[in-house]
């Protein structure tokens, strides 16, 4: 980056410049402010570190040898607070040993005093800040990719892939330690009619409303997911079947009370609790899915609980109208 180009670009960031030479430090600070940076100054290592504990910075410009603490000492301690903090060392006695020591300490670059020109300082400071911003942007993008990889983009609930990860680990925990684990499966009864009558955009809006209803009635430890077009699953660790059934009632009641395009949304549910007889997570989910299937076959708007005796009939114990 040329000096002329930098003169027309404002670089955003916060810098701490520490040097016991007041005139030299002031010169660097004025140039950094001219670049657009917010600058704090320190005259020794202790003052520099005190500022670091009170304020956040993007880049440190440290004299190697200062009263109190050396520049490398300040940088090492500062990077314990912020591992991605960029740093530049200033030294009047450059050697291979000091260069290696600086690089091992995580310093971006080191400059020898007196500086050949202020352009060198500007270029080094600018590039250190560019790397700082690049690392931050990469971290943001990585988190975004992680979020997209485990969430359903339409509803914001977890997707099937993330659900499978949690399901296997929770089933293993329930199997090993005998802890309760329940599942609720939900399926909209009239999704095809909504799509055919009002279009898929309307169908998407209904799915979002259903997701909102689910979110309002689950705990922080629960895992709600969209597992198909209009199918949802809620994994409830540390929940007995009776608790899961009550959650299913509340979720279904809210969905059934939701009006969309002057008509009610209809939903059915299946509920089950893990038991060793299911053998696998797949077997467990299949059993709950069968309960859901029976609820839909019985006319919809119902909640069926799967029990190990296989009963999914319409008596009050196993079948509740939503």
244 to 4, 185, 295: CA distances (angstroms): 67, 11, 16
- 188's CB contacts (< 8 A; 6+ apart) are 194, 206, 210, 230, 265, 266, 267
Output the furthest CA–CA distance in the chain (Å, rounded): 90
- To 10 degrees, what angle do helices 191-198 and 200-216 make? 140
7: exposed, middle or buried (Cβ count in 10 Å: 0-12, 13-18, 19+): exposed
Q: Which residues contact 254 (CB under 8 A, 6 or more apart)?
A: 213, 216, 217
SS3 category, 112: strand
**What burial class does residue 61 get, using C-beta atoms within 10 Å of its C-beta: 0-12 exposed, 13-18 middle, 19+ buried?**
buried
Contact 282, 183 (CB under 8 A): no
Q: Which residues are catalytic?
A: 230
For residue 248, give the nearest of 266, 231, 267, 223 by alpha carbon: 267
């Amino acid at each position: 980056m040329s000096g002329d180009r930098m003169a027309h670009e404002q670089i955003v960031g916060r810098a701490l410049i520490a040097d016991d030479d007041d005139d030299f430090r002031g010169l660097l600070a004025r140039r950094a402010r001219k670049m657009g940076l917010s600058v704090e100054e320190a005259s020794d290592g202790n003052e520099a570190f005190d500022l670091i504990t009170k304020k956040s910075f993007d880049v440190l410009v440290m004299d190697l040898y200062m009263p109190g603490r050396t520049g490398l000492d300040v940088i090492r301690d500062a990077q314990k607070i912020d591992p991605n903090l960029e740093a530049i060392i200033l030294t009047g006695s450059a050697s291979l040993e000091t260069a290696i020591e600086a690089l091992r300490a995580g310093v971006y670059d080191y400059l020898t005093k007196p500086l050949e020109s202020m352009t060198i300082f500007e270029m080094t400071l600018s590039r250190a800040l560019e790397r700082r911003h690049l690392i931050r942007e990469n971290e943001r993008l990585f988190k975004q990719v992680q979020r997209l990889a485990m969430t359903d983009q339409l509803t914001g609930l977890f997707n099937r892939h993330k659900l499978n990860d949690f399901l296997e680990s929770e089933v293993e925990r329930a199997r090993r330690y005998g802890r309760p684990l329940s599942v609720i499966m939900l399926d909209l009864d009239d999704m095809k009619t909504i799509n055919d009558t009002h279009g898929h955009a309307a169908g998407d809006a209904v799915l979002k409303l259903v997701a909102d209803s689910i979110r309002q009635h689950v705990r922080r430890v629960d895992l709600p997911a969209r597992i198909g077009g209009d199918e949802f699953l809620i994994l409830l660790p540390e929940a007995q079947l009776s608790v899961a059934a009550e959650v299913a009632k509340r979720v279904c009641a809210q969905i059934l009370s939701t009006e969309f395009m002057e008509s009610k949304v209809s939903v059915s549910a299946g509920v089950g609790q893990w038991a060793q007889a299911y053998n696998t997570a797949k077997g467990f989910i299949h059993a709950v899915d069968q309960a859901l299937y029976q609820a839909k076959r019985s006319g919809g708007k119902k909640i069926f609980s799967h029990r190990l005796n296989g009963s999914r009939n319409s008596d009050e114990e196993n079948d509740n109208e939503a």
